[in-house]
Structure 1
């Protein structure tokens, strides 16, 4: 079917684009597993040092540690030390300090450097994706379906306004002010709709605001925003490729997303009872965490298989198992998932920072100057559009609407996906590509400290969502 073929092309082409060079080189030179492992080990050493050093430093400054992890990634990434870099940044093995270390200390042959670099990068990408899956599963466990449903209407309104305002303003501004043609202008507007649920939820957890009314509205809106973002990305990518919108594909994504999320919530009771039954029968180590991770990984697979995001499946799995807090198995699960999260989640945030190329800020490069002007416009629209959506909350009295809007600001890895797809499609000029990347950088780094400021340090716990009966 044409729609399903298009979906495969749009959502699988980034992966095939990374693997293809490896397969091509594999006909001549194969990467040695020992060298790939050595490169991954050195990269993880750099990632963990950057994560801990950055997190501790920013915590000392009074900022969320997640911001330190992002900055630590920038330091060891393409913008500075070139310790952890990726082919998608337009570099090869000759720029990698890790590869040079392997050549000097582990005996890596120079002619095998490139294929080793590619394979090592793929492993790190997979580890980062698993890290964000674990993060969203943990966030789902800490959330409460009743609380999310209680603010569900508000979350839907916030997400809708937060997608519509930036998209319309960004597209109209690019066409009216900068005279950009329709397709790239629509792509720029679409990139403004994204919200990084991973970064926002991590910050909310760190400042103990995840279970407040504001936190639950932000979380629910970010999930809805994520689904809308996937649909917009597919439609806009179709427009860039063919010049016309693939209606069948858009309808498919809308229906599959709705069925998946609603079905996961409705099956929550069954999953809870089944999980507790089996976990209580197991007598060996990992009786709670292994079955839970199995459910999380399977639902992540289902989310990816139906061309949604794996992280949505992980979040849904956490929601499914959210009603375990009062059981011994549930308390054991919450305790055991923390060290797994501590090990894997930093890989995700550090790699996001490592991929950030601050070279786009250099005004000495002529192509960057136009991009900087466009970027200023996109940054203003990106921030104002999301902050404004917080004030669309209705029916609630004592709620921090500014905090809700700020919580929707960071674009993070989601915005980078939009930029990557737009660049690969050929729809974006170099200046517009630079502008979108800069918008993603600024909103990602600006939101965490702002979120802490707008919530305030002394906000009372009384603002948490009250328990509902029944």
Structure 2
């Protein structure tokens, strides 16, 4: 058992790092290469890595760390400066794909519950991929870059809440009687979680981290940060939500602390050196090539709906906030990428049996396509904007 795990980890780490290197050379997100490694190493092709329970546990830790980092990397200060346009872009960026992708699901005879979940999956936006692309083009500090990042933060929070509420209905197994138990499961547990989170953030986190600095031990601060991450992951699970939600909000709490960068650097090393690559590869392990033949039209229409809904939704809200046309399109393009956020949510849907088999593979393919298209759209609108400025100049 140990030998099989070590062989799988060797293959995963070598494969993902080489894939990441190649992706960086050709200018596409490394996550795409990691997903492809899962397909290549998994049952679809070479069968070197199998979706075992141990691989699943490693991947679950990877999801928790990934969401913790997503919270840490969120800059809440941007929401204060660009609150109105960011919220507006986030709202349309959730409503448009929620409706359009749900319609696509219903056209292909998915249940209303699965279709609604499909819309939620494609309402997500990848913060990390948007940040990387904007940094590469030196537009992070621009007005449109700040709106994209601010909207991505709001988008992540709202979609995470939507997923948690949706999961509550699923776990009730059709019993929707309007009684105390219903409202406790739907809202009570969530309010308790956020109440505890608020109390911890306001009164406990600073004294705790200050005390941590007095500990004479190797990487004491990082260890305590991971303890908090895992503790809130367990807490959110106990209160009827996914463990990744607790990890995400703990990251948000620590994102405003002076030790944020030190913690982030250490957790990035821990996560991306082992656990997070296993998560992305594990998703690729479940993909079967039969999905391409069986659901070709579904993949095409879902990909188009995913791209158009975010692009147009972001454009409309940005224009309403008096952003010029090209930069408004750039804002929309920055919201198109789904990346790890959508992959995490669709994985949750699989665990709830909302998406299974080849449909699951088809949805992952559509997520990959949307993630690939986003950097290309961003590049196009940035270059077009630069040309317009050059002509005016």
The two structures have a TM-score, normalised by structure 1, of 0.67
SS of 2:335's equivalent in the other structure is helix
- In structure 2, the residue matched to 1:305 is 238
- Partner residue of 1:451? 374
- Please say if residues 299 and 366 of structure 2, whose CA atoms lie closer than 8 Å, have aligned partners that are also in contact: no
**In 1, distance between residues paired with 2:213 and 2:129?**
34
**CA distance in 1 between partners of 2:168 and 2:361 (Å):** 19
Larger RCO of the pair (alpha carbons < 8 Å, separation 6+): 2
Question: Which of 157, 162, 169 pairs up with 1:228?
Answer: 162
Number of aligned positions between the proteins:
365
Q: Residues of 2 paired with 1:123 and 1:139: CA distance? A: 24
Preserved CA contact (<8 Å) 1:162 1:193: no
Query: Which position in structure 2 is the counterpart of 1:204?
Result: 130
Query: For residues 250 and 384 of structure 1, what CA distance do their matches in structure 2 show?
Result: 36
260, 265, 270: which is aligned to 2:193?
A: 260
- Find the counterpart in structure 2 of residue 378 from structure 1: 302
Match of 1:193 among 117, 120, 127: 120
Q: Distance in 1 between matches of 2:184 and 2:90?
A: 19
Q: Distance between the aligned counterparts of 2:196 and 2:82, measured in 1?
A: 19
Q: Which residue of 1 aligns with 2:150?
A: 216
Partner of 2:337: 407
For residues 381 and 321 of structure 2, the distance between their equivalents in structure 1, rounded to whole angstroms, comes to 25
Query: 1:167: how far off?
Result: 4.1
Q: Tell me how far 1:82 sits from its aligned partner.
A: 1.4
Note closer, same or farther for the CA distance 1:140–1:419 as it changes in structure 2 (3 Å cut): closer
2:216 to 283, 286, 301: 283
CA contact (8 A) 1:73 1:351 kept: yes
Offset of residue 171 of structure 1: 4.7
What's 1:324 paired with? Answer: 257
1:60 aligns with 2:25: yes
CA–CA separation in structure 2 for the residues paired with 1:41 and 1:304 = 29
Kept after mapping to 2: 8 A contact 1:235/1:250 = no
Among 21, 39, 61, the residue aligned to 1:130: 61
Task: Please report the RMSD computed on the Cα atoms of aligned residues, expressed in angstroms.
Answer: 3.5
User: In the TM superposition, what whole-angstrom CA distance separates every residue of 1:416-445 from its partner, at most 9, and x where no partner exists?
Assistant: 432553458xxx8xxxx64453133222x1
The separation in 2 between residues aligned to 1:259 and 1:218, in whole angstroms, is 25
Distance 2:183 2:43 in 1: 35
Tell me what 1:76 maps to: 41
Larger Rg over CA atoms: 1
Q: In structure 2, do the counterparts of structure 1 residues 437 and 155 end up closer, same or farther at CA, with 3 Å as the change threshold?
A: farther
**How far did 1:67 drift?**
1.6
Q: 1:306, CA displacement in angstroms?
A: 1.2
Displacement of 1:188: 2.1
After superposition, residues 26-45 of structure 1 pair within 5 angstroms as 36-45=1-10
The Cα offsets for residues 33-88 of structure 1, whole Å up to 9 and x where unpaired, read as xxx222211111111112112111111111122221111111111321112222xx
The CA deviation at 1:452 is 2.2
Note closer, same or farther for the CA distance 1:335–1:408 as it changes in structure 2 (3 Å cut): closer
Could you tell me whether the CA contact under 8 Å between 1:222 and 1:408 is conserved in 2? no
**Distance across 1 between alignment mates of 2:333 and 2:95:** 19
- Which 5+ residue runs of structure 1 have no aligned equivalent? 1-35, 87-120, 363-367, 461-470
- CA 1:439/1:273 → structure 2, altered by over 3 Å: closer, same or farther? closer
CA distance in 2, matches of 1:375, 1:158: 26
Distance 1:323 1:61 in 2: 35
Q: Measure, in 2, the Cα distance between the counterparts of 1:454 and 1:374.
A: 22
